[in-house]
Amino acid sequence: MNPFTKLKYIQSSKELLDVAFARASKLTLPKSKKPAHVRARDKEIAKLKKVNDVLAFRLEDIVSRFPNFDEIHPFYRNLADTVVTIDEIRQALASVSSATRIIRGIIQDNIRKLRKAESPSAARKLRSAAYGRISSVIKRIKPRLAVIRQAALEYRRFPSINLELPVIVVAGYPNVGKSSLVALLSSATPEIAEYPFTTKKISVGHIPLDSEEGQILDIPGLLDRPMAKRNPIEQRAIAAIQYLADTIIFLIDPTLNCGYELSSQIALLAEITSTFPNFDIFPILNKGDIASKTEIMTARDSIDRHDLLVISTLTKEGVKQAFQKVVNQSEKVQEKLRLLQSRSL
């Protein structure tokens, strides 16, 4: 499950300061017969305490809602790293923590001085000097907060994947029909379009599997290139394969309709197979409605698999049967299903 669901909307540095100062300025103290300068001191001290309560609480809350990156599932750690690198987010969170401590120090320092203020104007001046210093501390962490805000926004939207249920990942070159297949088989509603790299994020669809439940993952398209050259979007696809897949449907478009050569798609298949040698990988030919016999034959010959199934997500032909075959033949999927069934007995 997504370890980032506790993250909330994070305020900008300006919003934080505005709220803290506004709360402080609304404070009213009970009437007292103390001398004017003592009343002024009390009031300015109360304001500073309020600013401290609001800022320290909110800043600590931001930091505490992030999980420990060392303890989360490696899939989510890798996924997070593709948005904002974990080093960067850690440094940003550390800056926020140290800003909280600095603000506390400023406030304590000024409260001490305020206790000795001898006139209302001296008290006001001290309080306003503290506001100035606090503002500059918060402004200094503005870029760090911006990084944290962006991360929180995206991390929260990560798919929630239940690793106790079987996971079937649909991989392949861009534009071969991965999202179309996932949409056809499951509850997911991924975007489908005639251009490559439509899918930029992983989405999960739920699907009934032999009276249990399975998950089918739509992932971004991959190009045939070395791992080090892969962009963050492709890295998400790799993370899903590496850490989540019980089995992989490798979709191939033998028609060139996707805009990529068959040979490149096959090279990618070979690369995925050699990178993940213990994985079940099922190549399937899509776009059977427009593929010629020669194209299908050439694809089967090139992979040296003459039983390679042909489907069409457009006409739905062969889709259900191919999927069932994958489920039946995948050892890891069957293992998880057996475990689920034995538990529900």
Ligand X SMILES: Nc1nc2c(ncn2[C@@H]2O[C@H](COP(=O)(O)OP(=O)(O)OP(=O)(O)O)[C@@H](O)[C@H]2O)c(=O)[nH]1
Which stretches of the chain bind Mg ion, using CB under 5 A? Answer: 178-179, 198-199
Contact with ligand X (CB under 6 A) among 3, 159, 166, 177? 177
Contact at 8 Å (CB) between 244 and 160? no
82 binds, among ligand X, Mg ion, none (CB under 5 to 8 A by kind): none
Q: Does 186 bind ligand X (CB under 6 A)?
A: no
DSSP 68: P
Give the CA angle between residues 149, 25, 130 to the nearest 5°.
Answer: 70
Task: Please identify, using beta-carbon distances, which residue of 194 and 304 lies nearer to ligand X.
Answer: 194
What is the per-residue DSSP string for 147-181?
A: HHHHHHHHHHTS----TTS-EEEEEESTTSSHHHH
- Candidate segments 39-47, 91-99, 238-246, 311-319, binder of ligand X by CB under 6 A: 311-319
- Candidate segments 25-33, 91-99, 171-179, 336-344, binder of ligand X by CB under 6 A: 171-179
Find tokens 């694809």 and name the residue. Answer: 299
Q: What share of the chain is helix, strand, coil (3-state, %, to 5)?
A: 55, 10, 35
Burial of 278 (0-12, 13-18, 19+ CB in 10 A): exposed
In angstroms, the CA 289 to CA 240 distance is: 29
Q: Does 197 bind ligand X (CB under 6 A)?
A: yes
DSSP 67: P
- Candidate segments 2-10, 12-20, 128-136, 194-202, binder of ligand X by CB under 6 A: 194-202
- Candidate segments 19-27, 91-99, 177-185, 329-337, binder of ligand X by CB under 6 A: 177-185
In angstroms, the CA 240 to CA 61 distance is: 30
Q: Does 330 bind ligand X (CB under 6 A)?
A: no
146 binds, among Mg ion, ligand X, none (CB under 5 to 8 A by kind): none
Contact with ligand X (CB under 6 A) among 43, 149, 287, 336? 287
286 binds, among ligand X, Mg ion, none (CB under 5 to 8 A by kind): ligand X
Q: Does 313 bind ligand X (CB under 6 A)?
A: yes
CB atoms inside a 10 Å sphere around CB 25: 10
Q: Does 236 bind ligand X (CB under 6 A)?
A: no
Q: How far is the CB of 320 from ligand X (least distance, A)?
A: 14
159 binds, among Mg ion, ligand X, none (CB under 5 to 8 A by kind): none
In angstroms, the CA 301 to CA 233 distance is: 31
Task: Please identify, using beta-carbon distances, which residue of 7 and 299 lies nearer to ligand X.
Answer: 299
Angle of helix 120-140 versus helix 13-25 axis, rounded to 10? 160
Contact with ligand X (CB under 6 A) among 38, 46, 233, 314? 314
User: Residue 87: what residue type?
Assistant: D
Q: How far is the CB of 285 from ligand X (least distance, A)?
A: 10
Q: Does 203 bind ligand X (CB under 6 A)?
A: no
Q: How far is the CB of 255 from Mg ion (least distance, A)?
A: 17
Reduced to 3 states (helix: H, G, I; strand: E, B; else coil), residue 96 is helix
In angstroms, the CA 15 to CA 55 distance is: 11
Q: How far is the CB of 139 from ligand X (least distance, A)?
A: 41
Q: How far is the CB of 215 from ligand X (least distance, A)?
A: 17
209: part of which helix (H) or strand (E)?
Answer: strand 203-209
- Name residues contacting ligand X, limited to 204-223 (CB under 6 A): 220-221
Q: Which residues bind ligand X (CB under 6 A)?
A: 174-180, 192-194, 196-199, 220-221, 286-287, 289-290, 312-314
